[in-house]
Structure 1
Amino acid sequence: MNDSSIVNILEALKTRLDENNLLTVHSTSGIYPKVGFTFNKPITYHELEQFITKNHLTLPTEYKDFLLLHNGAEFFTNEYGYSFCLYSIEEMICEYNSMKDYSDVDYFLKNCYPIGYLVDRGTLLLDVSKFNQTNEVNVLLSGIETISFYCDLKTWLERMIIAQGNAYWEWFSKVVYFD
């Protein structure tokens, strides 16, 4: 993909979906289940700017682009739920406000926005601590431990789509030494 913007990543995914927003994926043991995708209607630019101003948010362009395309989405859904979701702006603000009650990590409250959820893993956070100086953002996963993906939202999302909603960061290789 030459232009890996949020819009292009999601549009490329949608070209592979059938008329019911289903995608056949490769699973273990040669099983090929169909999984779904639910895309919310977009928020308008004016509504988004009002939320940003009212809540004193500093949102990076890639997250704004997502909200303007789909104000929330669920990815890789099946009869048990979804693999992960990206919050609508309303859900993000609600989650951010509730973080104040349960999070004892000041860094999260000062520098991060909860932008999604990974089932059985935790909250997806957008770390904007360097955004004002360098325009860089980083995606974090806050669960039992906090994991840094060392990438921006569009890179993380593209990897999740390629990995079919699986925890790609848990895949690893190990150097093998031979005598």
Structure 2
Amino acid sequence: MNKLIYLTLKNLKTRLAKQPILWVQRELGYIKPCTCAFYKAATPDQIYSLVKETGFFLPTSYIDFLKMHDGAILFQDQSEYVNPPWYIFGLEEIMEYSEQNELPPNLYAIAKFSQTIIFIDSSRVKEGREDYLFEGSILNLADEFKAIDLNFELWFERLIVSQGSFFWYWNNYSLKNYQPEEVSLDELNEMEE
């Protein structure tokens, strides 16, 4: 069992058992109440069936996740705005997504947030590479897949720590391209009310 996957899931579920609503703070000071849901575990036979049917190579950390939970819904917004959650795909969602979308044969989807899809490059997993995660968009699956230089265990752990943020973009923002917004005293008083 992958230690990072195990501890990340165990500790998140421990927090949720004590407090089922997580107050998640996102970029730009936005805060929202969220819940998480976890599917039942996939059996080794179910995992083997997917591999046999598709020919996909699954990284061991993702297999370990599936053995604990065959999918999850993370950071489901419970506010009036109802922003989308993160869907971590189980075996059935992998198959459905592959059947419904034209993808390069080496890619399969494992997670979704709104229009963003996270893919595993099966050929990189087969080669033993750890940089097998890619990002794509539902709006343009033809040929735009961007490497995010992570494996599943690091991506998943950081997704939980960052409370569902697109943390892999954080290095793109620095003092060179960040414009702080000033708020007047009147606006601050209105925000406090």
* TM-score, normalised via structure 2 length: 0.74
| Per-residue deviation, residues 138-163 of structure 1 (Å, max 9, x unmatched) | 21110155332101011111111111
Determine which of 98, 101, 115 is the counterpart of 2:100: 98
Determine which of 113, 117, 121 is the counterpart of 1:118: 113
Q: CA deviation at 1:63?
A: 1.3
The answer to whether the 8 A contact 1:138-1:148 is kept is: yes
CA change 1:82–1:11 in 2 (3 A) is farther
The answer to whether the 8 A contact 2:26-2:165 is kept is: no
Q: For 2:6 and 2:147, locate their aligned partners in 1 and report how far apart those are by CA, in whole Å.
A: 23
Aligned to 2:165: 166
Aligned to 1:8: 7
Aligned to 1:106: none
| Per-residue deviation, residues 63-117 of structure 1 (Å, max 9, x unmatched) | 11111111010110013254311111011011112222xx4xxxxx222111111
Paired positions, count: 166
Q: Which residue type is aligned with residue 114 of structure 1?
A: A
The answer to whether the 8 A contact 1:38-1:74 is kept is: yes
| Correspondence 1:141 to 2:135 | yes
* TM-score, normalised via structure 1 length: 0.79
User: Which of the two has higher C-alpha Rg?
Assistant: 2
Aligned-pair Cα RMSD in Å:
2.5
Q: For 1:81 and 1:28, locate their aligned partners in 2 and report how far apart those are by CA, in whole Å.
A: 14
The SS at the match of 2:58 is coil
Q: For 1:29 and 1:136, locate their aligned partners in 2 and report how far apart those are by CA, in whole Å.
A: 32
Q: Which residue type is aligned with residue 141 of structure 1?
A: E
The answer to whether the 8 A contact 1:60-1:137 is kept is: no
The SS at the match of 2:49 is helix
Q: Percent of aligned positions with the same letter in both sequences?
A: 25
Structure 1 residue runs without a partner (length 5+)? 104-108
